Amino acid sequence: MKAAIMGYGTIGSGVAETLRVNHDVIAKRVGEPIELKKVLDLREFKGDPIEPLIVHDYKDIVNDPEIRIVVETMGGVEPAYTFVKAMLEAGKNVTTSNKALVADKGAELIRIAREHDVNFMFEASVGGGIPIIRCIESCLTGDVIEYIAGIVNGTTNYMMTDMAEKGADFDAVLKEAQAKGFAEKDPTADIEGYDATRKIAILTSLVAGQQVDYNDIPTEGITHISVADMKYARKIGRKIKLLATSREVGNTYSCRVAPFLVAPESPLYNVDGVFNAVFLHGNILGDGMFYGSGAGKLPTASAVVGDIVRMAKHLNKNIPIEWGEEKLELADPGLDRYRFFVRTTDDQSAIDTAFTEEVEYIDADIVPGEVGFITPEMEQREFDESVKKLPGTVSTIRLA
Amino acid sequence: MKAAIMGYGTIGSGVAETLRVNHDVIAKRVGEPIELKKVLDLREFKGDPIEPLIVHDYKDIVNDPEIRIVVETMGGVEPAYTFVKAMLEAGKNVTTSNKALVADKGAELIRIAREHDVNFMFEASVGGGIPIIRCIESCLTGDVIEYIAGIVNGTTNYMMTDMAEKGADFDAVLKEAQAKGFAEKDPTADIEGYDATRKIAILTSLVAGQQVDYNDIPTEGITHISVADMKYARKIGRKIKLLATSREVGNTYSCRVAPFLVAPESPLYNVDGVFNAVFLHGNILGDGMFYGSGAGKLPTASAVVGDIVRMAKHLNKNIPIEWGEEKLELADPGLDRYRFFVRTTDDQSAIDTAFTEEVEYIDADIVPGEVGFITPEMEQREFDESVKKLPGTVSTIRLA
């Protein structure tokens, strides 16, 4: 059984390493060894053991009939999309770790795979080593998934944990995360929540069976979270986590990516550092949570190689995935209901006027001249109207 | 697509309810509706909507060519084994929630299913609604699983949580658990650890690919855990949990079921009440944990129906499961290494004589006339020898 890797970066080299280190156990599970035959990369890798396998033109893989399984670990939509499409059309099975590609083109690539009796798999695109895609697509198929809340971005979870534990401010923590390799040089996609948005779009597409456009998902990053917010969180016994959420509403879902104040009763409360976790609620299952290393070379490679083994066992047999190309119209996020934490320099009479129902004041002198309070549960749009009447508002964070 | 249920008790009726409540979404996923055609039970269920489906002879199902999928929710090895075997040999797919059957006959039934191009699935046999079987068998297939530690018995976890929170003693907590329906009238299989032993035997068989005999697994229940043990646990910041563990040693595994003092750093620490969780460590994945409702009518039905959907999509195609009939010789549990917590009425000089390395005394006056201490990490057999020299030993619990 011959395989190829497109993109020999961190993940791609992790996949090659896994195929080497676990060669025998993988061969036993598949029924024959999996041999890496070609590696597509722009670089030469002179002197590296991988050098003899390097090719620079993806057509060298497309046109190699021996290669039945292709791993895409390049990242980005193009040229990954062109390459993956060509591989599927050539009758090759493809697995990818590329959430941008899956969020954008997942439904189409699933259809092309089905039309060619091969498989397009993407376990590594969400939650790194956590097998959340398979759990949704192949295990929890007796359930209607009513709620998903995921900590699906390791960079921001590391930063939130660090801010909470050290009392350091956002910029200092970001610099340290970059120095340690936990944040990229350009951290925008992580800290603005764009990465998490693509991941919850993928999960929601799978549970709904239709295409979710991530551009429709209200997204708020963590850049505005301050040391004072962290102090308030600790005071009320909660932790601030960037959550990617999806909730069933009628025949559709309402999605959101934003920082939330997570209660200690939630299993997500203890998910710290670079770990990821996806909490979900099924109408039959009840609560479940899947926890693990959400990123990094080897955890992600673990998911990719799990796909390789599954595809090797189903070489010419498409395993149907319910994710059609029809667009899912998401529910109005203004109708989402939350309790909200608010910090403001407005006085109590202004607050009482802004909110018809009584709010709960936090008894803590964290920032001189401001108060912190928590609203009763209310609709997002109603909250937005109320908070407009408080010009002194410093920050607002939803509770979860 | 016609299905039958054998055993219309708690789980069986939960499966029927799930097929009814989620009828449309299941039909969409399978491609056609799944209709319950027959239900095997000794009882008549007069007046119940299920009454017209009731049959009393399993051969009525064996000989019905329309029925392609059979659910076994009777429990116990016999007659479940005879019935399931007959169904597989008649070319029907079978899913079961019956851990006794799977632990005893799993490898054989998997072989029979393969020989007849059908499937034998058992997701509900371990961890109730948590899809841990599929995760091991179909997701983490790129990994060598090096360690498993599961809270796989809801009854004992509920009791341990209750003892820790209320300071109540074992007998009082057991009575309350029975009154609430969380413990059976005869709770032996749960509180003596036998249930957990079968479950870790199943998980270890799957990761090793060979048959583990649960009789080989050293098993200790929770009946000896006292209020004083709970106080010591709290003092050292740990919780006592009944863990079912499996660790790779050379070419095999060492398994054990026993109460452990779990550290707050472990993701298992926060798994309280009737919830189950399975923590595992893969050589590529790193750490992962799967958490959810481990028992009960609907969570277990969720897992059974997930199997039904998967089997319906693979009606005449056996999905290979690596679990051969060859017996796995487990490693010597005497070589397991742990730190141990010990309570004794012996004095310090006796303790210093018994243990060559220095122990860590717990500074707490919990029971007059006794001391509590924690040993350094040592082999089980070495500990057993040392503790023989302390005739005043009241209790010992391993740390995890």
C-alpha distances out from residue A374 to A236, A257, A264, A355, Å: 10, 20, 17, 11
Q: How many CA atoms lie within 13 A of A14 on its CB side?
A: 27
Q: Chain B interface, mutation test: which of A29, A143, A308, most B Cβ atoms within 10 Å? A: A143
Read off the pLDDT of residues B112-152 as tens digits, 9 standing for 90 and up: 999 999 999 999 999 999 999 999 999 999 999 999 999 99
Pairing of strands A67-72, A337-338: unpaired
* Residue in B269, B288, B305 nearest the CB of A292: B288
pLDDT at A272: 94
The DSSP symbol for A375 reads: P
Q: Is the pLDDT of residue A362 over 90?
A: yes
Query: Are A44 and A54 spatial neighbours (Cβ–Cβ below 8 Å)?
Result: yes
pLDDT tier for residue A296 given thresholds of 50, 70 and 90: confident
Residues B366 and B308 in one domain: no
Phi, psi (5° rounding) for residue B341? -95, 135
pLDDT at A164: 96
Tokens of A133: 């895609």
Beta-bridged to residue A393, according to DSSP, are: A344
Length of chain A (residues): 400
Q: Any idea what the CATH number is for the domain that residue B288 is in?
A: 3.30.360.10
Same domain, B99 and B241: no
Is the domain of B124 the same as that of B153?
no
Residues of B in contact with A326 (CB under 8 A): none
**Among residues A215, A133, A383, which one has the least CA distance to residue B139?**
A133
Give the CA count within 13 Å in the CB-facing half-sphere of B392.
14
Which band of pLDDT confidence, cut at 50, 70 and 90, is reported for residue A261?
very high
B117 with B155, same domain: the answer is no
Residue A328 in any domain: the answer is no
- Are residue A267 and residue A139 in the same domain, yes or no? yes
Residues of B in contact with A284 (CB under 8 A): 18, 21-22, 129, 298-299, 301-302, 305
- In the stretch 58-117 of chain B, residues with CB closer than 8 A to chain A read none
Tell whether A123 and A255 lie within a shared domain: no
Closest by CA to A233, choosing from A380, A395, A40, is A395
pLDDT of residue A294: 83
Could you read off the pLDDT of A71-116 as tens digits, one per residue?
999 999 999 999 999 999 999 999 999 999 999 999 999 999 999 9
Among A313, A343, A374, residue at a domain's last position: A313
Residue B104 domain-assigned (yes or no): yes
Assigned domain for A354 exists: yes
Is A61 among the annotated ligand-binding positions? no
pLDDT at A341: 98
- For residue B303, the chain A residues in CB contact (below 8 A) are 139, 142
CATH code of A346's domain = 3.30.70.1150
Q: How many domains does chain A have?
A: 3
Do A54 and A149 belong to one domain? Answer: no
Reported ipTM: 0.94
Q: pLDDT tens digits, residue range A118-163?
A: 999 999 999 999 999 999 999 999 999 999 999 999 999 999 999 9
pLDDT of the residue at A20: 98
CA distances from A384 to A253, A335, A379, B361 (A): 21, 11, 9, 57
Residue A93 sits in the same domain as residue A146: no
Please state, in angstroms and rounded to a whole number, the distance separating the CA atoms of residues B68 and B332: 44
pLDDT at B296: 87
Residue A191 token pair: 């800290």
* Catalytic positions of B, written as ranges: 199
Q: Confirm or reject contact between A144 and chain B (CB < 8 A).
A: yes
CB A219 within 8 A of CB A258: yes
**Domain presence at residue B329:** no
A368 touches chain B (CB under 8 A): no
B150, B286: one domain: yes
Contact A285 B123 (CB under 8 A): no
**CA pair distance B154, B299, nearest whole angstrom:** 12
Q: Which amino acid is at A186?
A: D
pLDDT at A359 over 90: yes
Q: Which residues of chain B have pLDDT under 50?
A: none
Stated as kind and residue range, the H or E segment containing A312 is helix A297-313
Q: Are A190 and A137 in contact (CB under 8 A)?
A: no
**Number of A–B residue contacts, CB under 8 Å:** 178
What was the pLDDT predicted at B262?
Answer: 98
Please give the pLDDT value at position A73. 97
Domain membership of residue A379 as a residue range:
334-399
**C-alpha span between B383 and B400 (Å, rounded):** 16
